């Protein structure tokens, strides 16, 4: 039975079909806690306050974060699920050990306020997103914000004639201004968008499937445009992960092989030369020193 035949009228007409009007109406009908959560993500990822200084009159990120947590408390939604908090505990231990043994411990601990923002962000997202529909809206917002960055990188790379740019394409001002961090963001964006597409596949129309596939591919373009070997290596590891985790390994292997071949073809010669020098060039040696 093909996927179209498995679609029910409810799936086709509901939010799971990603019809813009339905998604918009269902999003606006959500509790304030979720609306504050997705707005917080917008201010952190897209950074409109940096792009448009006229609105940079408040600490928008932390404001949305605190308002969201307050809304969760008023709605009785404060949650402390085990998995994200246990992972944050492990990550915190790694940060502390790295800071203590780092070359400049005082500098490391000076920026520990960033850790507090992570803690509050996890509290908000794990509390505000407590149903499948809210999860869909949250992930869709995350995809939209990353798409804003990936399409910007595509336009930047195209304006350079798809040639090698040493500094690489970057993302929004803030966390992803550096091309390396932007490339890492694309490594997160790629699998999220792929599995989002696969999870909703039966309920999507053909044109929506094509659009979502293009969204996922824009992340690969972002990895290449970033000129970051770390991001490109991350993309290769993700391709291997897809193959190993897929129930249709041969199909996925062929798909990832084709994608890898196309990626290698469009990669500028200078990027390929950097791979040939990996481990011996100054950038590699500097990163080994950092590690």
How many CB atoms within 10 Å of residue 193?
24
C-alpha 12/C-alpha 19 separation (Å) is 9
Residue 6: the pLDDT is 54
| Distance (Å, whole) CA 71 – CA 284 | 46
Residue 19 φ/ψ region, left for φ over 0, alpha for ψ in the -120 to 50 degree band, beta for the rest: beta
**pLDDT(225) > 90:** no
Backbone angles phi and psi of 287, in degrees to 5: -70, -35
- CA triplet 139, 144, 145: central angle to 5 degrees? 100
- pLDDT for the residue numbered 132: 94
| pLDDT tens column, 238-291 | 999 999 999 989 999 999 999 999 888 888 888 888 777 777 778 778 777 777
pLDDT of residue 88: 87
Q: Does pLDDT of 9 surpass 80?
A: no
Q: Which parts of the chain fold into alpha helices (H)?
A: 3-6, 9-13, 20-28, 32-45, 48-51, 60-75, 82-100, 105-110, 113-128, 132-159, 179-200, 206-225, 229-245, 249-266, 269-276, 282-290
Q: What is the pLDDT of residue 30?
A: 96
What is the per-residue pLDDT for 278? Answer: 77
Place of tokens 């094509």: 210
Q: pLDDT tens digit string along 73-122?
A: 999 999 888 888 888 899 899 989 988 988 888 888 888 888 888 889 99
> Looking at residue 8, what DSSP letter applies?
-
What is the predicted pLDDT for the residue at 187? 94
Q: The pTM is what? A: 0.84
Residue 43: exposure state from Cβ atoms within 10 A (0-12, 13-18, ≥19): buried
* Confidence at residue 110, expressed as pLDDT on a 0 to 100 scale: 84
pLDDT digits (tens, 9 = 90+) for 15-56: 899 999 999 999 999 999 999 999 999 999 989 988 888 998
pLDDT for residue 11 is more than 60: no
Helix (H, G, I), strand (E, B) or coil at 31: coil
- pLDDT tens, 130-173? 999 999 999 999 999 999 999 888 887 777 776 777 667 778 88
CA-CA distance, 233 to 238, in Å (whole number)?
Answer: 9
Find the range with the poorest average confidence among 6-10, 24-28, 124-128, 202-206.
Answer: 6-10
Confidence (pLDDT) at 4: 44
Give residues with Cβ within 8 angstroms of 98, minimum separation 6. Answer: 108
Structure tokens belonging to residue 271:
């990027």
Residue 7 has pLDDT above 60, yes or no: no
Evaluate whether 44 touches 37 at the Cβ level (below 8 Å).
Answer: no
> Which residues, including other chains, have CB under 8 Å from residue 8's CB and lie 6 or more apart?
none
């Amino acid at each position: 039975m093909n996927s179209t035949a498995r679609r029910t009228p409810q799936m086709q007409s509901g939010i799971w079909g990603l019809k813009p009007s339905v998604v918009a109406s269902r999003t606006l009908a959500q509790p304030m806690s979720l609306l504050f959560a997705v707005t917080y993500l917008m201010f952190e990822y897209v950074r409109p306050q940096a792009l448009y200084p006229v609105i940079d009159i408040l600490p928008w990120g932390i404001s949305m974060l605190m308002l969201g947590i307050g809304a969760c408390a008023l709605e009785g939604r404060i949650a402390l699920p085990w998995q994200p908090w246990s992972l944050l505990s492990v990550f915190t231990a790694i940060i502390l050990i790295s800071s203590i043994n780092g070359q400049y411990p005082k500098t490391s601990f000076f920026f520990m306020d960033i850790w507090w923002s992570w803690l509050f962000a996890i509290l908000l997202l794990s509390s505000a997103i407590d149903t499948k529909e809210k999860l869909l809206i949250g992930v869709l917002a995350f995809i939209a914000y990353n798409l804003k960055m990936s399409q910007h990188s595509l336009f930047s790379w195209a304006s350079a004639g798809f040639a090698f740019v040493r500094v690489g394409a970057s993302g929004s001002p803030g966390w992803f201004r550096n091309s390396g961090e932007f490339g890492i963001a694309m490594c997160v964006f790629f699998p999220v968008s792929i599995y989002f597409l696969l999870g909703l596949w039966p309920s999507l129309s053909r044109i929506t499937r094509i659009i979502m596939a293009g969204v996922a591919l824009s992340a690969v373009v972002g990895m290449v445009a970033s000129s970051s070997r770390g991001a490109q290596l991350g993309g290769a590891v993700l391709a291997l992960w897809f193959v190993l985790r897929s129930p249709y390994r041969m199909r996925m292997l062929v798909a990832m092989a084709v994608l890898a071949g196309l990626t290698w073809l469009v990669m500028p010669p200078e990027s390929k030369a950097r791979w040939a020098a990996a481990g011996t060039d100054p950038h590699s040696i500097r990163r080994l020193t950092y590690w």
